Amino acid sequence: MKNLYQIFNFGMKNLISKFCYLFLFFHFSEQIIAQRLSYGISAGVHVSNINIQPLDLAYDPFIFNLKPQNGYHIGVYRRIGLGLIYFEPQCWFTYLNQPLNISNRLDVDSTFQVPLDLSHIDFPVEFGLKIGPLTALYAPVFSIPIFDISQPSNWSNQFGIGLKLFRFQFSLRYQSPFDIRFSDISLDNLETNYRAQASKIIVSIFMKI
């Protein structure tokens, strides 16, 4: 009977010890994961430039008066830190309205405007290298149009640098051109098709929550 009690007592102590080890393991694992995971909000200012080319290079009857246009974004992010590198999926609402002022080459007083609403939901998937407070980043971006559903969904790329200060991170990035679609342009009985692309410079601030 005494031997059974000793065996039972030993088994309970062993079970309690294993439970304590498991508890400590999961506790510290959770702490480590929590230190590597973070999330927050972001906002930024965009400056866009549009490049327009006629599909028929021999026939280009219009003049486009293009100027850089401003826009903005607000969004959220989730960061996974892995030492010197990190992975950061993001979601942005990007507002960008860029009307095109167009005139006839033969009659510059004959002008009209094509409205372009380039607002998107953007999904940058950012990969970065962190050295001290400085970062270098690359992000493929998938963009879905919001208001103008005739616009195509697009893939583009962002390249940039960043600076981290306490809970805040600032970034300057360039977004490669993405395609823009608009209706055939017709003015003074002249009509032709164009291919357009927009690129952007983006200044952003991120705040860890």
Contact residues for 74 (Cβ-Cβ < 8 A; gap 6+): 41, 42, 43, 92, 93
pLDDT band at 8 (very low <50, low <70, confident <90, very high): very low
When pLDDT is cut at 50, 70 and 90, the band that residue 114 belongs to is confident
Q: Average pLDDT of 19-46? A: 67
What CATH number should be reported for the domain holding residue 120?
Answer: 2.40.160
Q: Is residue 173 one of the residues assigned to a domain?
A: yes
Rounded to the nearest 5°, which phi and psi values hold at 126? Answer: -90, 135
DSSP 3-state assignment of 162? Answer: strand
Question: 54 is written with which tokens?
Answer: 């006629």
Has residue 8 been placed in a domain? no
Q: How many domains does the chain have?
A: 1
Question: Residue 116: is its pLDDT beyond 80?
Answer: no
12: three-class secondary structure by DSSP = helix
**Domain housing 77:** 37-208
Give the C-alpha distances (Å, rounded to integers) separating 52 from 7, 147, 203, 207, 209. 84, 22, 24, 36, 41
**pLDDT level of residue 29 (50, 70, 90 thresholds):** very low
Residue at 14 is within a domain = no
Task: Read off the pLDDT of each residue in 170-176 and give the average, rounded to a whole number.
Answer: 96
Task: Report if residue 122 sits inside a domain.
Answer: yes
| Domain-embedded: residue 6 | no
What pTM did the predictor assign?
0.76
Length of the chain: 209
Tell me which of 62-71, 85-94, 152-161, 189-198 is least confident.
189-198
DSSP-derived secondary structure letter, 83: T
Assess if residue 13 is contained within a domain. Answer: no
